[in-house]
């Protein structure tokens, strides 16, 4: 069974990471920023799995398991923060939140 070169997978992962980073920086909606962070985490997972397949090594897959667990914890906390923010300020746009500015 022939396989594809890893450069294809790494390139795809880099493109998805760039899209996620641009989303984090240019969007104002906190929920979309949160989803862009998930995109970036997923592209890193893709890199781990690519190298795990390339080296024939299982450790990369274990790393992905832990990244998934941390992403689940992060999503619970992040969404709770967004909920609390909406209760206090009635907005989810990050540029309208300046509680700590003055």
Partner 1 sequence: MELQLISFIILGIIAIASALSTVLNRHPIYSAMSLILHFFALAGIYLTLQSQFIAVLQILVYAGAIMVLVVFVIMLLNLNEEEKRKLIVQSRHSFGIIIVAIFAIMLVVYLTTGVFHYPNEGDFSTMFGAKALGDLLFKQHLAAFEVVGILLLAAIIGAMVMAKKKLID
Q: Contacts with partner 1 in 53-92 (CB under 8 A)?
A: 53-56, 58-59, 61-62, 64-66, 68-77, 79-84, 86-88, 92
- For the chain, the straight-line distance linking the first and the last C-alpha, in angstroms and rounded, comes to 63
Q: CA 59 from chain center: how many Å?
A: 21
Among residues 4 and 100, whose Cβ is nearest to partner 1? 4
> In whole angstroms, how close is the CB of 83 to partner 1 at the nearest point?
5
34 near partner 1 (CB under 8 A): yes
Closest CA to 23 of 39, 47, 42: 39
Q: How many residues form the binding site for partner 1 (CB under 8 A)?
A: 73
Instruction: Quote the DSSP letter at residue 56.
Output: T
């Amino acid at each position: 069974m022939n396989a594809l070169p890893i450069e294809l997978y790494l390139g795809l992962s880099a493109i998805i990471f760039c899209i996620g980073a641009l989303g984090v920086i240019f969007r104002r909606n906190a929920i979309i920023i949160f989803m862009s962070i998930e995109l970036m985490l997923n592209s890193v997972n893709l890199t781990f799995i690519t190298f795990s397949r390339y080296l024939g090594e299982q450790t990369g897959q274990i790393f992905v398991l832990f990244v998934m667990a941390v992403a689940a914890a992060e999503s619970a906390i992040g969404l709770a923060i967004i909920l609390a923010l909406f209760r206090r300020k009635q907005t989810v746009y990050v540029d309208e939140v300046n509680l700590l500015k003055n």
